[in-house]
Amino acid sequence: MKRCITHAASMLLLLWVSGANACVTFPPIETPDIRKVADSADIVAVIHVDQVGWRTPEEEAEFHRLWERPPMDEAFSYPARSAQFSVERIFKGQVPANVSIRSGSVDCEIILTEGQDYVLFANLPSDDDRLVPLRGTFPLDATRHSAALLADLESHFTHSNSTSP
């Protein structure tokens, strides 16, 4: 019995260390309410990621430098890849012409997958010439969860745009 408990504890530790608990922050990152994100975002759209480009050699070198020796007293972000996309449907705002999306570099960011559809929440670009997906952006896949989120979003925009008597 003791051997079984030790084995189970070892397996749990292995899963935790190997990345099953990949994005860990303090305080923890909370999943935002989709309706609140939709209200605060400049752009809400269903997109299809056509292509995710590679980082330039300079960006790759910067990524590795920051990964190995992150600055301790200042905020920073890793150089990220850019994704080209097509707009399938717009719920809110307008997507600027010829703009790309920032695809995250690390587990706690939104990492876009080529060929995947997403519901994108973003603000208009300012410092960067790319859209940065807001927390709440989610993939549209064959799960009930993403279908329910999309239905909730559709309902939110349908009801918020209707006039009440």
Tokens matching residue 105:
């570099």
Output the pTM of the full model.
0.71
Contacts of 79 (CB under 8 A, 6+ apart): 55, 59, 60, 62, 63, 66, 105
Selected from 2.40.50.120, 1.10.1040.10, 3.40.50.620, 3.30.530.20, the CATH number assigned to the domain covering 23-161 reads 2.40.50.120
The answer to whether 52 and 104 have CB atoms below 8 angstroms apart is no
The answer to whether 41 and 121 have CB atoms below 8 angstroms apart is yes
Q: What is the pLDDT along the chain (165 residues), one digit of tens a residue?
A: 665 555 444 444 443 443 444 566 566 667 789 999 999 999 999 999 999 987 777 777 887 888 888 888 877 676 678 899 999 999 999 998 888 888 876 667 788 999 999 999 999 886 667 888 998 999 999 899 999 999 999 999 988 765 545
